[in-house]
Amino acid sequence: MRDTINVKNPATGETVKEVSVTSSSHIKKAIEQGNEAFKTWSKVNAHQRSALLKEWSAKIKSETEYLAEVMTLESGKPLKESRGEVAYAASYIDWYAEEAKRVYGRTIPSHTESKRIIVTKEPVGLVAAITPWNFPAAMMTRKAAPALAVGCTFIVKPAEETPLTTMKLVSLAHEAGIPEDVVQCVNGYGEDIGPIFTDSPLVRKITFTGSTPVGKLLMKNSAATMKHVSMELGGHAPLIVAKDADIDFAVNQVLASKFRNAGQTCICANRVLVHEDIAKVFSEQLISRVAQLNVGNGLDESTDVGPVINAAGYEKIDSQIEDAVGKGARVLYGHQYDKDEEKGYYFVHPTVLENVGEEMDIMQEETFGPVIPLSTFRENDQAVEIANNTPFGLAAYFFTNDYRNGIYFQEHLKFGILGWNDGAPSAAHAPFGGMKESGIGREGGPEGIEPYVETKYLSIGGIQ
């Protein structure tokens, strides 16, 4: 096991901080402590847990500027987006602080006078979370808040690229009065910590946001101890622009979806399918707007698009563009890089490609970069067929002002999250998650609490 993590600023390649890796014996101890703490935390009444969560959220909000700066330094995302993510992260805690008081059971009318049937909900136990670098705050709180709300204890392993935001969130939870063994952070590399989590019978649930191959491995390794699993995995979102769409509005929403975090989000539009009658005017408007985006260091307030996370991220984007161009796609805008391999920073300028076909890698694999591949369709069923032609099923978008088109897309697209005239559907009160190889389970809303509870059924007999 390596001893340290060198947290680097993706905008400069400079070291932000060296973080110690938690030794395997310490991780095992943290698991034991979390399991022990479950005995008391699960008995704290729901109103008290709710009050502690509210206090945690208040502390996070009061540290917005500090957290946003740390997040930008380690992830590269523009400061304005980091501030937005702090608010988004706190909104999950606020939502689940309320839901803590609404974990209802039920009584079921009995089939005989001598029995009563009662159903209760109980926390699953100790939860281990593995969180991603693209949303280091919100993906942690989206898991921790429902877990703590119902009475589970929680250990998080943040992405090795971005541990600093999470470490601060955990220390704020302790300052808010949540006991140290109830929420813990361990640092290290996924391939070392993942097996410690999955092998331990004390960990009753694994929750993960990240790639589909890693999600599959975690699920496989969780089978031996029959853990609960929630998996929020990769996506390949289609965005359909129908002939009757408001083009100006659709262009705005494409920008919001595609360039958030430099295209490094699981739900961002990965393929844009435009009705052939409006394709020319749509692409002209799109390019004029893309040309206004500022690329630069996220600490600069005027930056719209920051760097991509690392060399591997850059290489994947570059190879998808090269593959598409090699197979006949045309570059309408961009295809420009600003990088220094020695220093270790990679900026990919917003790029628009047209004449993109399904045989190209970019139409099949998640890009995680600021690239818009444009393709056209004639009939709605053709658009749906192209859109559904992916093993992923996380998010899809469609733009139309004709309710018949809208209902057709809503009923035929096989994705867990749909945006109808909406490129930014995420919200703490709504269920986020995917179908097919995009994962299992939902986060956010009342659905987001279910994965942290067990159902217990009591049958009382012998009643006179």
Binding interface with ligand SIN (CB under 6 A): 134-135, 138, 209, 265-267, 426, 432
In angstroms, the CA 142 to CA 131 distance is: 10
Would you say 133 and 70 are in contact if contact means Cβ atoms under 8 Å apart? no
User: Is 152 labeled as catalytic in the residue annotation?
Assistant: no
Q: Which tokens belong to 127?
A: 């939860």
197 phi/psi in degrees, rounded to 5:
-60, -50
Q: Tell me the DSSP string of 341-352.
A: TTTTEEEE--EE
What b/e string do you get for 340-369 counting C-beta neighbours within 10 Å, with b at 16 or more?
Answer: eeeebbbbbbbbbbbbbeeebbbbbbbbbb
Q: Which tokens belong to 11?
A: 């905008």
Choose the catalytic residue: 99, 161, 232, 354: 232
Cα Rg, the chain, nearest whole Å: 23
Q: Which tokens belong to 280?
A: 């020319």
Nearer to ligand SIN, 10 or 123 (CB): 10
163 phi/psi in degrees, rounded to 5:
-80, -20
In the complex, minimum distance from the CB of residue 149 to ligand SIN, in angstroms, rounded to a whole number: 19
Nearer to ligand SIN, 27 or 266 (CB): 266
Closest by CA position to 436, among listed 376, 380, 389: 389
- What single DSSP character describes residue 277? T
In the complex, minimum distance from the CB of residue 234 to ligand SIN, in angstroms, rounded to a whole number: 9
Nearer to ligand SIN, 222 or 426 (CB): 426
Nearer to ligand SIN, 123 or 451 (CB): 451
Q: Is 309 exposed, middle or buried (0-12, 13-18, 19+ CB in 10 A)?
A: buried
User: Is 69 labeled as catalytic in the residue annotation?
Assistant: no
Instruction: Select the residue whose beta carbon is closest to ligand SIN and give its number.
Output: 426
Nearer to ligand SIN, 50 or 265 (CB): 265
398 phi/psi in degrees, rounded to 5:
-145, 145
Nearer to ligand SIN, 151 or 434 (CB): 434
In angstroms, the CA 285 to CA 263 distance is: 19
In the complex, minimum distance from the CB of residue 442 to ligand SIN, in angstroms, rounded to a whole number: 12
Would you please indicate which residues are annotated as catalytic (active-site) residues?
232, 266
